[in-house]
Amino acid sequence: MSTAVSRLLVENNEGEEQAAARITQIYDSVQRQLYLFLAATLIAIALTSLYLIRANRQIFARLAELSEQRSELAQKLISTQESTLRHISRELHDEFGQVLTAIGAMLGRAGNQAPEGSPLRQDLQEVREIAQSTLNNIRSLSQALHPVLLEEAGLESTLDWYIPTVERQTGIRLHYEKSGQSFPIETGAGVHLYRIIQEALNNVSRHAAVTEAWIRLRFLPNALALEVEDHGKGFVSEPSSAGENVPRGIGLVAMRERAELIGGILNISRPSQGGTLVQLKISQDKLQPHAA
């Protein structure tokens, strides 16, 4: 009886040892499989991350290339536009201006030959006045298209001429303020500044429905600040990808492109009184003749 019990105990111990060994093998197998799974997962994550990083780099490189191409295209379009406007301006000033000047002179001579107080003399004088008025309008249009004064006298003198002209043409009272110690501005940059002011005032005239506006030209120690403000209707804005309301329009896009071309920062906002505030700030070194 003792022998049988001892044998059973021995067999039971052996069974327990075998079961324990089997359980250990199972745990080891599960552990190895878990490690392999984790390793495979980490490798997959690493490969996916590397792929995404490479893909993002390619996308950003492509975006940078497209942005550069867009900037070059915008610069070429603006350059072409300025060249075309310059050509039309010269044609108006030289060709039509000379023709109208000659017509005015001929009408003056013909009027002098007509009898004093005769209807013919009065008619010739009236036609001469119409020709002179047309000549003045053509000269104003020529200057508006491409102000020769900008190349000859600079931006300040051009604005001194242009702003009162716009005031007379639109009937809008323009408060023009200059401050600070002025410095020379390269002609190419001056053209862009002039066009930005021109577009801003066109928007005031067409869309703001106001009787007055403010133009501020500030020469800062190391920069130039420009503001055009009105308290009218303001722009119709559209939400941007960042959730902000951004004014849209071809003219506004052109203003931003011109600001970027001369290294300026353009901001369009709504002042507390309502309307629109166009602000442009440019570093002085971007406007100097050597920075062309």
User: Taking residues 164-183, what's their average pLDDT?
Assistant: 91
Model confidence at 144, in pLDDT bands (50, 70, 90)?
A: confident
Best-predicted range by mean pLDDT (64-73, 211-220, 245-254): 211-220
Instruction: Report the pLDDT value the prediction gives residue 235, as an integer from 0 to 100.
Output: 63
Cα 26 from Cα 172, distance rounded (Å):
91
DSSP 72-106: HHHHHHHHHHHHHHHHHHHHIIIIIHHHHHHHHHH
Tell me which residue of 207, 200, 214 sits closest to 273, measured CA to CA. Answer: 214
User: Taking residues 29-33, what's their average pLDDT?
Assistant: 85
Instruction: Report the pLDDT value the prediction gives residue 178, as an integer from 0 to 100.
Output: 93
pLDDT over 90 at 152, yes or no: no
Cα 284 from Cα 184, distance rounded (Å):
9
Model confidence at 245, in pLDDT bands (50, 70, 90)?
A: very low
Question: Domain 154-292 falls in which CATH fold?
Answer: Heat Shock Protein 90 (3.30.565)
Model confidence at 200, in pLDDT bands (50, 70, 90)?
A: very high
Q: What is the pLDDT of residues 18-29, one digit of tens each?
A: 777 888 888 888
Instruction: Report the pLDDT value the prediction gives residue 243, as an integer from 0 to 100.
Output: 46
Residues 16, 21, 22, 26, CA torsion sign = positive
For 42, phi and psi rounded to 5 degrees?
-65, -40
The ranges assigned to domains in the chain are 154-292
Model confidence at 239, in pLDDT bands (50, 70, 90)?
A: very low
What's this model's pTM, rounded to 2 decimal places?
0.65
pLDDT over 80 at 215, yes or no: yes
Instruction: Report the pLDDT value the prediction gives residue 290, as an integer from 0 to 100.
Output: 54
